[in-house]
Amino acid sequence: MNRGELSNEQWEKLKPLLPPQKPQTGKPNHDHRLVVNGILWILRTGAPWRDLPERYGKWESVATRFYRWQKAGVWNQILEQLQAIADQQGMLDWEIHYVDGTVVRAHQHAAGGKKGAMKTKL
């Protein structure tokens, strides 16, 4: 296991929340754990997909899985389920584990823009 990859404990919590490894139709997916670790590597480093190390598989396969799951809402479902589990175990204090738009700061270049929609000249 490389630094930044899922530990066995983390993987055991995440594994049941993922779609089936072998879909009902078509060929089986590449190992979910390997792909998720590849996605985490991209998110952690900010590198482009093409720079994904070969140990995670083909970058095209990892990127395709990421975007397919994003479109299907898998990531949102995982977040909601992990939050529900943590909340049931009393591990979340919603007074401090809550972020909304009033807490997130805008980038310094976001200030001073023109208000309203852009008007185009014909």
pLDDT (tens digit, 9 = 90+) per residue, 49-59? Answer: 999 999 999 99
Asked if 57 and 48 count as a contact pair (C-beta separation under 8 A), the reply is: no
> How confident is the model over 45-71, as a mean pLDDT?
95
Residue 52 burial (CB < 10 Å; 0-12/13-18/19+)? buried
Residue 78 has pLDDT above 70, yes or no: yes
- 16-30 average pLDDT score: 76
Long-range own/partner contacts, residues 48-55 (CB < 8 A, 24 or more apart): 55/2
pTM: 0.71
Q: How far apart are CA 50 and CA 54, in angstroms?
A: 10
Give the single-character DSSP code of 23.
-
